[in-house]
Every structure is written in C-alpha cells, then in structure tokens.
C-alpha cells in the first residue's frame, strides 16, 4: 500500500515548492535514460509509474515518447491532467495503485522514479512492471539507498530541519539498497544493465551522476529478456 498523503497536493509544478528537487533532477533523469537507450525517446511507448503531477511524463512526451502515467494519488493525477491541458501535452493518465489494469507486453520503457521507497512490497511492483514490458524493453528505476547518510539527508535535513520536503514523506525502513533492487530485478528476469549514483548540488540546484558512489540516490536500468 502506498501512503499518498504527502503527494495529494496542488503545487507539483511550483519549481520552488515541495517538489523542487523533482524539478531539479528531471533533466538528469532524461539524460540518463537516453544514455541507457543510446537514442532519444522518439517513437518509444513509455509508462511512468508513480508519475505524480506529471513532471517527468511531460518531459518524456516533449522528447517524443508516447506516454502513459500512473499514480496512486488521485489529486496528483488531477494536477497532471490539468497541466497537460495547459501545455498541450498528449499523455494518458491513470489513477490506481497497480499497473495490472494496463496491457501486458505493451511498453518499450517503464520508468519508476522515486516511487519504490514509498510502497510496502516493491518486489511486487517490479513483477508487475516486468509483465507490462515488451520483450527487450527497459525498466528504469531511481530510489534511495538505505544508508546513514540517506537518513540524515533525506529525513533529518530535508524533512525535519530545512523542511524542503513535506514531513513524513519518507520512511527509512523503506529505503532500498542497490543489491536488493538488483536481486529483485534478476528474480523477475530483468537483466541489470547499469547502476549509477547521483548527488545534489545545493549551491547549483542540480543533480549529477556519481558513477559507483551511491550514498543516497541512485539509478538502476534493467532489460526484459527477449524470449
């Protein structure tokens, strides 16, 4: 079950609001994903699981993908639809806690960015995602490593002290170590292609890749077997 309280907000598109870090990381998400594909997103069928207010979904659509977005927070989906109408973005948004209502084997890419750390059974989410991928399709995850530094930064500093992130957005027990995520992927016949850390510059307000250093946030890319 996903706790959606922190995400039922109107300010998803306020770049200085509660979701400012998602806006700051969005260019790196797109850059990293295109690097994994070794191409742009034109013509790709992409599902964004945990799309929230549509921040990455709109970026992917602008880059040429055919995009669906799914989120368990009903008001976030309302915000996403409203913003897409304002910008003219063509995105199919769905409200729900599971991807099981979406067609199997349909998507070339499924993104699940900063979502797995908010659910009780991330392994089940990965299984459902795998089934929605076309053979050879790519699953792209980003989440938070279960480390002391992640706890001190994400929960103590950003939530409790600086209040940049809404209080109780994160639960340290739900943070996921890279080895755990990789193991769940392999169990679901997803071949891990890349694991890469990222870090935030509080002075420049941007994220950058950190290769093998993953003290807090990281990306993982895995590919569904073709047969």
Nearest to 216 by CA among 225, 226, 202, 227: 202
Could you read off the pLDDT of 120-178 as tens digits, one per residue?
A: 999 999 999 999 999 999 999 999 999 999 999 999 999 999 998 888 899 999 999 99
Lowest average pLDDT, out of 44-48, 75-79, 202-206, goes to 202-206
- Helix/strand/coil (H/E/C) assignment for every residue in the chain: CCCCHHHCCCCCCCCCCCCHHHHHHHHHHHHHHHHHHCCCCCCCEEEEECCCCCHHHHHHHHCCCEEEEEECCHHHHHHHHHHHHHHCCCEEEEECCCHHHCCCCCEEEEEEECCHHHCCCHHHHHHHHHHHEEEEEEEEEEEECCCHHHHHHHHHHHHHHCCCCCCCCCCHHHCCCHHHHHHHHHHCCEEEEEEEEEEEECCCCEEEECCCCCCCEEEEEEEECCC
pLDDT for the residue numbered 220: 97
Phi, psi of 123 (to 5 degrees): -60, -40
Predicted local confidence at residue 1, as pLDDT: 52
pLDDT tens for residues 171-186? 999 999 999 999 999 9
| Nearest-angstrom CA–CA distance, 109 and 121 | 21
Bigger pLDDT: 101 vs 179: 179
Residues 6+ apart with CB under 8 A from 18: 9, 11, 164, 165, 166
CB 89 within 8 A of CB 66: no
What tokens does 173 get?
Answer: 């027990």
Q: What is the pTM of this model?
A: 0.95
> What is the arithmetic mean of pLDDT over 82-96?
96
Contact 52, 22 (CB under 8 A): yes
Q: Which whole number is the average pLDDT over 187-205?
A: 93
Report how far apart, in Å, the C-alpha atoms of 13 and of each of 79, 113, 200 are: 9, 17, 20
Tokens 């770049």 sit on residue: 15
Please return the burial class of 56, using the count of CB atoms within 10 Å of its CB with bins 0-12, 13-18 and 19+: buried
Average pLDDT over residues 105-125: 96
In the block, tokens 């995009």 appear at 67
pLDDT at 181: 98
- pLDDT(87) > 60: yes
Q: How does the average pLDDT of the chain come out, rounded?
A: 93
Q: Is the pLDDT of residue 49 over 70?
A: yes
In this predicted structure, the answer to whether residue 6 has a pLDDT above a threshold of 90 is no
Determine the pLDDT at residue 227: 63
Report yes or no: 52 and 71 within 8 Å, Cβ to Cβ. yes
């Amino acid at each position: 079950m996903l706790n959606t309280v922190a995400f039922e907000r109107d300010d998803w598109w306020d770049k200085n609001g509660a979701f400012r870090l998602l806006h700051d990381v969005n260019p790196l998400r797109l850059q990293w994903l295109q690097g994994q594909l070794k191409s742009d997103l034109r013509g790709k069928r992409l599902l964004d699981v945990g799309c929230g207010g549509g921040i990455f979904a709109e970026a992917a659509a602008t880059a040429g993908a055919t995009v669906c977005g799914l989120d368990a927070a009903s008001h976030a989906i309302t915000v996403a639809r409203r913003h897409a109408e304002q910008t003219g973005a063509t995105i199919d948004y769905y409200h729900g806690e599971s991807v099981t209502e979406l067609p199997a084997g349909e998507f070339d890419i499924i993104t699940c960015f900063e979502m797995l750390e908010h659910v009780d059974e991330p392994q089940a989410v990965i299984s459902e995602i795998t089934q929605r991928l076309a053979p050879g399709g790519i699953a792209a995850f980003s989440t938070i490593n279960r480390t002391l530094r992640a706890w001190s930064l994400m929960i103590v500093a950003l939530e409790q002290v600086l209040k940049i992130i809404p209080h109780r957005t994160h639960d340290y027990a739900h943070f996921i170590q890279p080895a755990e995520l990789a193991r769940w992927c392999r169990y679901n016949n997803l071949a891990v292609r890349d694991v890469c850390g990222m870090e935030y510059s509080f002075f420049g307000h941007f994220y950058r890749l950190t290769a093998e250093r993953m003290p807090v946030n990281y990306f993982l890319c895995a590919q569904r077997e073709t047969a």
